[in-house]
Amino acid sequence: MLANYINKGIFMETNLILEGFKFMGLGMGTVFAFLIVLILMMNIMSKILNKFFPEVQPSISAPKANAQKDNKKVVAAITAAIKHHIEG
C-alpha cells in the first residue's frame, strides 16, 4: 500500500514538472510573439513617418571651407586645454 502512495507521488511530481514546462513554453511563446509584433509595428511606423517627414540630406560640397575654420578652433581648444593641464 505504501508503494502505491509513493508511485502516485512520483507520478504527480512528473505531471507537475510537465505542467511547468507547458506554462514556461506558453509564456516564452507569448513574449516572443509580442516582440515580433512590436518590431513589425515599429518598422511600419518608421516607414510612415519617413514618407510624410523625410530627413533632410545635408549638402556635402559646401562645408569644406568651414571645416578648415572649425579645425583651427579645435586645435586652439586642445592646445589651450593641454597648456592649462600642464600649468595646473
Instruction: Return the domain boundaries, the chain.
Output: 1-57, 62-88
C-alpha to C-alpha distance for 27 and 20, rounded to whole angstroms: 10
pLDDT number for residue 72:
84
pLDDT < 70 stretches in the chain: 1-13, 61-69
Give pLDDT, residue 79: 93
The pLDDT value given to residue 66:
60
* pLDDT value of position 4: 59
Helix (H) / strand (E) element for 84: namely helix 64-87
Q: What pLDDT sits at residue 33?
A: 98
| End-to-end CA gap in the chain | 89
3-state secondary structure of 53: coil
Phi, psi of 20 (to 5 degrees): -60, -45
Tell me the C-alpha distance between 53 and 87, whole Å: 51
Nearest-angstrom CA–CA distance, 32 and 55: 32
